[in-house]
């Protein structure tokens, strides 16, 4: 292959990613997924040309959502889905692009939430523990602490590989849950912290449904754009290479361990921002917010949407929240776990790439008319 061909192929690869199409991110052959970062001007061009009609439509829909939806829908469905989606995005980044499925992302989010409660101001009953710092300082400190914890969890779990990750992160997550539950001097035990509110700034009370929705939307878009950028940056490309073949990347001179820990830290930042937003949404944080069911719910959200594209967790979160709010009316409020467990089982059994994988298979079947859907790598 000549140099010109090679450059063309590389650019095509970048363009393909930028179009927002589903690329086989988890293909068996590493070559198909790794596209080299192109020159700066090409990247800039493809960013603009990558914006398509559907992006504009989705963005317009999201921006206009509070106009035609009731405050209940805006807050309960819109804001909650976006906040959960943002936290799940960190898992998608780690799992889909780093090959490390961490169950401790809700723990990282919880650490951020607890930090906001401990350093900032919570309700009157917990004043003895809360330090009462101004909200911006508390939030900044919370995100730093959560990121450090995420890096530490990463450091622990990257020492072993593959399936061990899920065991170690689950252990860390459940251990943190029990710590919050048993400890009263710092984490206020079973009660946790109540009455936590988004601050009032610029004369806007960010706790109100519509401003809060836009706040969460802003950070979700920021997180989405950040991940989209990162997976095409040299770091993201190296990370995907490490996912597909760590030994080869090591032989090429990449520090595999450092890249993995850095991925945990980056995912930690995203999860921490989501965690702060989720605490403001819920207005409280208790051990149950970081309990096993929520650790697993986050995995359900990520897997439900599909781990092959950063939009997956948001789709998963919307489905999850809709199920949580409406579908349980069909059976029984108490039986939500049964519903979500069954849905999760069905997705894992029949479409390992989640709803996005289902959509891609459907589309390829319709467009090509072929009997066989395109081979998908699936989550291994």
Partner 1 sequence: MTRFWRWFWSLALLVPLAVFVVWGIWDNAKLFFITLLNGLTLASLYFIVASGFTLVFGLMRNVNLAHGSLYLLGGYVGYFVAEKTGYFALALAAGFLVAALVGLLMQVSIFRFMQGEDLRQTMVTIGLSIVIADLMLWSIGATVHQMSAPDFLSGPLRGIPLIVAYSKYRMALLPLGIVIGVLLWLFLNRTRVGMMIRAGVDDRAMLAATGVNVNLVFAVTFAIGAGLAGFGGVIGAVELSMVPGEDVRLLLASLIVVIVGGMGSVVGAAVGAIILGVAETYGLAYAPTYSVVFTFVILAMVLAFRPRGILGAAA
Site for partner 1 in 178-197 (CB under 8 A): 178-179, 182-185
Of 12, 59, 175, 252, the residue at the interface with partner 1 (CB under 8 A) is 175
Q: For the segment 324-363, give every residue that binds partner 1 (CB under 8 A).
A: 334-335, 337-338, 340-342, 344-345, 348-349, 352
Residue 349 backbone phi and psi in degrees, to 5: -75, -40
Tell me which residues in 155-174 interact with partner 1 (CB under 8 A): 156, 159-164, 166-168, 170-172, 174
Helix ranges restricted to H, the chain: 3-18, 30-33, 40-49, 53-68, 71-72, 80-92, 98, 105-119, 135-157, 163-182, 209-230, 234-244, 246-251, 256-282, 292-305, 312-325, 336-350, 354-368
* Nearer residue to partner 1 within complex by CB, 315 or 347: 347
CB 144 within 8 A of CB 266: no
CB–CB of 304/355 below 8 Å? yes
CB of 338: closest distance to partner 1 in angstroms? 4
Q: Is 263 in the site for partner 1 (CB under 8 A)?
A: no
Q: Which is nearer to partner 1, 35 or 169 (CB)?
A: 169
Closer to partner 1 by Cβ: residue 180 or 285: 180
Give the nearer residue to partner 1 in terms of CB position, either 49 or 183: 183
Q: Work out whether 258 is an interface residue with partner 1 (CB under 8 A).
A: no
Binding to partner 1, residues 92-111 (CB under 8 A): 101
Least distance CB 125 / partner 1 (angstroms): 19
CB closer to partner 1 out of 214 and 344: 344
Tell me whether residue 273 or residue 295 sits nearer to partner 1 (CB atom). Answer: 295
273's CB contacts (< 8 A; 6+ apart) are 86, 112, 143, 219, 223
Handedness of CA 5, 10, 16, 18 (dihedral sign): negative
In DSSP notation, 112-173 reads: HHHHHHHHS---GGGTTT-----HHHHHHHHHHHHHHHHHHHHHHHTTS-THHHHHHHHHHH
Binding mask 279-308 for partner 1 (x = CB under 8 A): -------------x---x--x---x-----
Does residue 379 interact with partner 1 by CB under 8 A? yes
Q: Which is nearer to partner 1, 179 or 201 (CB)?
A: 179
Distance CA 1, CA 7 (A): 10
Kindly list the residues in this chain that would bind partner 1 in the complex (CB under 8 A). 101, 156, 159-164, 166-168, 170-172, 174-175, 178-179, 182-185, 292, 296, 299, 303, 334-335, 337-338, 340-342, 344-345, 348-349, 352, 378-380
């Amino acid at each position: 292959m000549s140099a010109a061909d090679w450059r063309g192929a590389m650019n095509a690869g970048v363009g393909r990613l930028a179009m927002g199409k589903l690329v086989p991110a988890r293909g068996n052959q590493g070559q198909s997924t790794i596209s080299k970062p192109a020159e700066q001007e090409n990247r800039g061009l493809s960013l603009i040309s990558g914006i398509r009609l559907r992006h504009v439509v989705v963005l317009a829909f999201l921006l206009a959502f509070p106009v035609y939806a009731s405050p209940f829908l805006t807050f309960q469905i819109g804001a909650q889905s976006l906040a959960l989606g943002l936290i799940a995005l960190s898992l998608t980044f780690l799992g889909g692009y780093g090959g490390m499925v961490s169950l401790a992302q809700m723990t990282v989010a919880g650490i951020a939430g607890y930090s906001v409660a401990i350093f900032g101001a919570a309700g009157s009953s917990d004043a003895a523990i809360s330090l009462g710092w101004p909200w911006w300082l508390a939030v900044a400190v919370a995100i730093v602490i959560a990121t450090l914890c995420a890096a530490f969890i990463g450091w622990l779990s990257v020492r072993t590989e593959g399936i061990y990750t899920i065991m170690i992160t689950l252990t860390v997550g459940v251990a943190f849950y029990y710590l919050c539950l048993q400890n009263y001097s710092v984490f206020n035990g079973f009660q946790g912290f109540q009455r936590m509110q988004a601050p009032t700034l610029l004369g806007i009370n960010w706790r109100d449904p519509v401003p809060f929705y836009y706040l969460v939307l802003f950070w979700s878009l920021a997180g989405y754009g950040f991940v989209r950028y990162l997976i095409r940056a040299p770091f993201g490309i190296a990370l995907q290479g490490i996912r597909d073949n760590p030994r080869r990347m090591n032989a090429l001179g990449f520090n595999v361990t450092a890249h993995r820990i850095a991925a945990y830290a980056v995912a930690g930042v995203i999860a921490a921002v989501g965690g702060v937003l989720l605490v403001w949404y819920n207005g409280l944080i208790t051990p149950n917010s970081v309990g096993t069911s929520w650790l697993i719910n986050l995995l359900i959200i990520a897997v439900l949407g599909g781990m092959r594209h950063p939009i997956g967790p948001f789709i998963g979160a919307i489905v999850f929240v809709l199920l949580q709010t409406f579908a349980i009316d069909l059976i029984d409020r108490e039986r939500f776990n049964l519903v979500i467990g069954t849905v999760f089982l069905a997705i894992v059994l029949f479409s390992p790439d989640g709803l996005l994988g289902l959509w891609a298979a459907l589309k390829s079947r319709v467009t090509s008319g072929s009997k066989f859907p395109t081979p998908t790598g699936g989550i291994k």
